[in-house]
Chains A and B, each alone.
Chain A
Amino acid sequence: MRAYLEICKKSFQERMAYRGELLIRFVGIFMSFYLLYMFWKALYANSTDVQGISFHSMITYTIMSAIMGGIINIFGILNVYLAYWMSSRVRTGEIVMDMMKPTDFQLYLFSHSFGRLLFNVIVSVPIFILAIFIFKIYLPDSLGVLALFAVSLSMSYLLTFLIDFMVSLVSFWTTQNQGVGGFTRLIIALLSGSFIPLWFFPDWARNVLSYFPFASIYHVPLSIYIGKIKSIEGLYAISLQIIWIGVLFAGSRLLWLKSRRKLMTHGG
């Protein structure tokens, strides 16, 4: 346990060293906020309520989505960091050193990712406060809703981590996997409700998407936050998130075992 905490601390400090990049991140994120704001303002020019959602709720949804993306996209918007790291470790053979360590490999990467998560959370606090003043996004109705949102957001983080981890393992077969990593992120961005909430999607598309974990990543926590999904429904949506985490966790362990065996047969 101490080892994992140490890894977590290390990766947090590593991020602190890149404070200089924060300026770009702030500029970038506020430029996107402005764009999102004007985009939805233009759409709402002729209507006050669409699908039961006011302009105010929609702005809160979309800006919270961008803030949330900054928190849970641990390995960069395109997931290239983890994918790149893994593929270069596999290519050079350094991956063997990681596997020989007396730590669980997945847990090792998780601790690393968790350190980055803490950094992201701290950075997003001033962004969140500024967004409240500039774009008038609102806080949830009650503390209960806020707690439910926090739980759901944590689940989104776990889901994102598991997906990133599984994608990075592809490098055991292809050695090049940045393409696959970026591709997965793209699909998630399009289908998880991160830009456009899923309630605007046609029914058939929503039906298809209910068989995938995408909605659990953005749509669920954000809908809870703005109050579109209420109490019992929210608990139901969170249990679905947990089921997906279980499925993906089992899948990732299985894939990890296979990757190890793949490496062994190559005499690595």
Chain B
Amino acid sequence: MFYIKLFFTFFKLNLKAQMEYRINFIMSIFHILILQLGNLGLIWVVLDSFQALREWTFGEIAFLVGLRLLSHGLFTLFLPEIYWGLSNYIVRGEFDRFLLKPVNPLFLLITNGIILSGITDFSSGIVILWIATKSLGLNWTFINLLILLVVVFSGLLIELSAYLATSSVAFWVTNLQTLNFITFQFHEQYILYPVSIYGKPIQYFLTFIIPFAFINFYPSAYFLNKPSNLLFHPYFAYLTPIVALISFGVAYFIWKRGILAYQSTGS
């Protein structure tokens, strides 16, 4: 309860700080809208000549892209600090500030900033899902909308966990740009397309090591009724919430160990 109140207080403060840069915000709205819709347009152009990407049609790929944007939009809006943040805090010695307060330091870190353009990511996600729905003639039942909600929040948790785990390495090594960048590339580019187009090692990697495939690929198999032979196992279509909890557990463990290592060096 205390944390929820704190969360909204911090959110209000961050919002005020962001409002200082109104022009940047307006520019970023246009930028993101054109970026997302433009990229989708290019996929449409290619699929007009090629019909399908393996067995995936335009509408189905739009569904993948839209689903990713919904959870990513929420992540960008509420929790962007975990992205590149942690190593900066450590290098500048500002991380110690979080350890001195009677609140969980992870909570303090992730609520320390917002990026308002996350709203645009989220909204373009809705537009793109709508395009997918129209193109595929999907019927959204009440149950499916509920499942969508669970999937979106699980996706948010998976993204948070991935960046938490990779950023936590900053407690041991200060320069980890490359590692963060690889995670970023996988999340930003690779899962825009069905992961089944990649080689087996990448598919395993995106399923078991950094489980980004559970953000959009596996849940789409449920929503779109994709043939189960696309997956390692048909049950994977339902596993997103469980995977989200497990990855958060693992990431939180690495984070905890990192803090211990950090404190014992006495810096």
- Which residues of A does B touch, CB under 8 Å? 23-24, 27-28, 31-32, 34-35, 38-39, 41-47, 50-51, 174, 176, 179-180, 182-183, 186-187, 190, 195-196, 200-202, 205
- Determine if A190 and B42 form an interchain contact, defined as CB atoms under 8 angstroms apart: yes
Q: Does B28 contact A (CB under 8 A)?
A: yes
In the complex, A108 Cα to B52 Cα: how many Å? 49
Contact B28 A186, beta carbon cutoff 8 Å:
no
Kindly list chain B residues whose C-beta atoms are within 8 Å of the C-beta of A51: 49
Q: Is the CB of A202 within 8 A of B27?
A: no
A31 touches B50 (CB 8 A): no
Which residues from 172 to 188 on chain B have a C-beta closer than 8 Å to any C-beta of chain A?
Answer: 177-178, 181-182, 185
Choice from B31, B35, B38, B193 contacting A39 with Cβ under 8 Å: B193
Is residue B197 within 8 Å, beta carbon to beta carbon, of the partner chain? yes
* Complex Cα gap A205–B44 (Å): 13
Query: A180's closest neighbor in chain B, by CB?
Result: B27
The one of B31, B42, B199 that contacts A195, using a Cβ cutoff of 8 Å:
B42
Contact B42 A35 (CB under 8 A): no
A183 lies within 8 A of B30 (CB): yes
Q: Tally chain B residues at the interface, Cβ within 8 Å.
A: 33
Beta-carbon contact of A183 and B182 below 8 Å: no
23 A-B pairs with C-beta separation under 8 A: A23-B178, A24-B178, A24-B181, A27-B181, A31-B185, A32-B189, A35-B193, A39-B53, A39-B193, A41-B197, A43-B50, A43-B53, A44-B50, A176-B24, A179-B23, A179-B24, A183-B27, A183-B30, A187-B34, A190-B38, A196-B45, A196-B46, A200-B46
Residues in B with CB closer than 8 Å to A45 are 54
A45 smallest CB distance to B (angstroms)? 6
**Docked CA distance A196–B39 (Å):** 10
Instruction: Let me know if B222 is at the binding interface, CB within 8 A.
Output: no
Assess whether B34 is in contact with A186, with CB atoms less than 8 Å apart.
yes
Q: Cβ of A200 and Cβ of B45 under 8 Å apart?
A: yes
* A76–chain B nearest beta-carbon distance, Å: 14
> Does B46 contact A43, Cβ atoms closer than 8 Å?
yes
- 0/1 interface trace, chain B 108-131, chain A, CB 8 Å (1 if under): 000000000000000000000000
- How distant is A24 from chain B, measured CB to nearest CB, in Å? 5
Interface residues of B in 115-157 (CB under 8 A from A): none
Cβ B181 vs Cβ A28 within 8 A: yes
**CB-defined contacts of A174 to chain B, threshold 8 Å:** 23
Contact A176 B23 (CB under 8 A): yes
Residues of the B chain whose Cβ atoms lie less than 8 Å from the Cβ of A47: 50
Decide: A46 and B51 in contact? CB cutoff 8 A. Answer: yes
Q: Which chain B residue has the least Cβ–Cβ distance from A176?
A: B23
Most B-side CB within 10 Å, residue of A24, A47, A51: A24
Contacts A27-B178, A38-B197, A195-B42 hold; do A179 and B50 have CB atoms under 8 A apart?
no
- Which A residues touch B7, using CB under 8 A? none
- Bound Cα distance A42, B202 (Å): 15
- CB-based contact B52/A24 at 8 Å: no
- CB contacts (< 8 Å) of B28 on chain A: these are 179
Residues in chain A near residue B34, CB distance under 8 A:
183, 186-187, 190
Question: How far apart are A39's CB and chain B's nearest CB, in angstroms?
Answer: 6
Is B178 a contact of A38 with CB atoms below 8 Å? Answer: no
Per the bound structure, the CA–CA distance linking A183 and B185 in Å amounts to 21
Q: What does the 1/0 interface line of B212-241 toward A look like (CB < 8 Å)?
A: 000000000000000000000000000000
Q: How far is the CB of B196 from chain A (nearest CB, A)?
A: 8
Given A183-B30, A196-B45, 18 other A-B contacts at CB below 8 A? Answer: A23-B178, A27-B181, A28-B181, A31-B185, A32-B189, A34-B202, A35-B190, A38-B198, A39-B53, A44-B50, A176-B23, A179-B27, A180-B27, A186-B34, A186-B38, A190-B41, A200-B46, A202-B45
